[in-house]
Chains A and B, each alone.
Chain A
Amino acid sequence: MKNVWALVRREILSYFSSPIAYVVLSAFLWLYGFYFYAYLEAFIDPRTVAPGAVVNVNQDMLRWVFHTTAFFLLFLLPMVTMRSFSEELRSGTIELLFTSPLTDTQIVMGKFLGALSLFAVMLATTSFHMAVLFYFGDPEWKPIAVGYLGLFLLGAGYIAFGLMFSALTKNQIVAGLLSFGAFVLLYLVALGEDRGWMELVTYLSVDQHLEEFAKGVLDTRDVVYFASMTILGLFLTKQAIESYRWRS
């Protein structure tokens, strides 16, 4: 555990002493501020509300904020994970990790928790926007918490697969593009028609599962989906690292 902490600590230090953390954070905040404002404006615009209808800030605004955030994570998280293993393979620092008293699982967990911490910081910055809502309005906190949990679990899954692609190539651009392509695929599969065999494909879709969280519904099936995605991604990353040892 101490070993994993040492690795996580270095990852965080490294994110914040290179431009990555700042680029990703500012891109995220810029985008988030933009669509948060757009949804809020639409929400408070009296023309969009049918006379006599009951409006709910959780269902009519934040739900879309969560969905849109999930959409932008498609390319923001590959930026976070693309260099994690690729750069170590390219520069040879992986030799230090492989010859230190660390297990492959510890190395993968160090990278994973490091990237997850940066993602947590990304999500934490949006607490400011939530504070604004709580100050001026009266949203329910439970659906918000569930929504954030959904985003966090989704991000963990993306990060796990992003790490796997990063462990497969020395080229971080290739790693980033492969992750992005895979995530877009997982996102788009739900757009097919819902008939027969499509049920399975739809089950795989990321956005389907996020929908429940965004609505504020905590369903074990969706938690299991994201958790298995994360575990599978981490397992494959470990396999990729092991195979690199044998191939090199």
Chain B
Amino acid sequence: MIEVESVTKEYGPVTAVEDLSFSVAAGEILGFLGPNGAGKTTTMRVLTGFFPPTRGSVKVAGFDVASQPLAAKKAIGYLPETPPVYPEMTVVDYVDFVARIKGVPGNERLDRVDHALERCALTAVRSKLTSKLSKGYKQRVGLAQAIVHDPAVLVLDEPTSGLDPKQINDTRELIRSLGGDHTVILSTHILPEVSMTCDRVVIIHGGRLVAQGTPSSLEEQFRREDSLEITVQGEAAEIEAVLGAVEGVVSVSAATASEGDEVFSYRLEVDHGRDLRRVLSERIVESGLGLLELHRSGMSLEEVYLRAISREGS
């Protein structure tokens, strides 16, 4: 549905995006992840036809954004980082205006506007001026504007930035519900957002793609060791000696004292693909120490992300 092919965007001497290629399948929700200044907004602006790329091409819903801009733009709903609302217009007038310029046929327009307002829970404020709305409502008006012409593709630039936790939750739910009917690409630098809402992730850093895949395949890709969390009762030195002696344990983290005296928690990095839980528990019990907790810990997307962008930097 979206095909980005070796897109490069230069601002004078500065290269904001370099040779970026990825694609998004129909109905998929893609998370576009990267630190601030990684080139996320630039990529989205190229995608939506705001400006042309220096090199490379973008196809949206089968239309080339450079050579068939009007058809491509009709297929896109776009929420920029700041919702592009006119302060002197009411919510309903504004969404109606957007429906008009997106080319919604006259006989469907009122229904489409009502539907968009309803979907974004804006019916109660439809006659209010957009300048009187809170940040959260403005963001929803931005979303209503993006979906009013029922586009095949939704491009959302940091849709949850600046919202309070309740609003963030509502927005994520709304985005999830939009997936399926629409192909969604959303940018963010907030990790939990990706694991919660996205089917697939593209990580960019310094304008270049550093990793892509589903959250779990990324985890697999960046995992070098498996890790275990263990909590043991006994002398710290003794515990560390026992744990370190087990074959397959790569490293033992520093102890964190948890529940008072003589209870320590560790994080173990062990060889990938080996399940050492049984061996570990036997050794600990044999040494007369108390095994209180032992479980495998997965790699969080946060670690994947940090590893991906630091690998690129080094």
Contact = CB atoms under 8 A, between A and B. Distances in A.
Interface stretch (B47-55, B165-173, B199-207, B245-253): B47-55
A18 B87 CA distance: 10
B89 A246 contact: no
Interface in B52-94: 52, 69-71, 73-74, 76, 78, 80, 82, 84-89, 93
B80 A92 contact: yes
A97 interface: yes
Contacts of A99: 48-50, 73, 76, 78
Interface string A70-100: 0000000000000000000001111111111
A101 B76 CA distance: 9
B101 A100 contact: yes
Given A100-B98, A102-B101, A95 B50 contact: yes
A6 B51 CA distance: 23
B145 A96 contact: yes
A3 B84 CA distance: 18
B22 interface: no
Contact of A103 (B52, B70, B88): B70
B88 A96 contact: no
Contacts of A97: 101
A2 B80 contact: no
Interface residues of B, number: 29
B101 A7 contact: yes
A102 B149 CA distance: 14
A98 B52 CA distance: 11
Interface size class of A (residues with CB under 8 A): 20 to 34
A6 B100 contact: yes
Nearest to A98: B50
Interface string A16-39: 011000000000000000000000
A246 B73 contact: no
Interface centre among A7, A97, A101 (most CB of B within 10 A): A101
A247 to B, nearest CB: 8
A129 interface: no
Contacts of A103: 70
Contacts of A9: 97, 100
Contacts of A13: 88-89, 93
Interface string A229-248: 00000000000000001101
B100 A2 contact: yes
B70 A96 contact: no
A102 to B, nearest CB: 6
Contacts of B52: 245-246
B288 interface: no
B103 interface: yes
Nearest to B73: A101
Given A101-B101, A101-B102, A96 B51 contact: no
A14 B94 CA distance: 11
Given A3-B103, A248-B51, A101 B88 contact: no
28 contacts: A2-B100, A7-B101, A10-B86, A10-B97, A13-B93, A14-B88, A14-B89, A18-B88, A91-B84, A91-B87, A92-B80, A93-B84, A93-B85, A93-B86, A94-B84, A95-B84, A97-B101, A99-B49, A99-B76, A100-B98, A101-B69, A101-B73, A101-B101, A102-B70, A103-B70, A245-B50, A246-B52, A248-B50
Given A3-B100, A6-B100, A102-B70, 5 more contacts: A6-B97, A7-B101, A9-B97, A96-B84, A98-B51
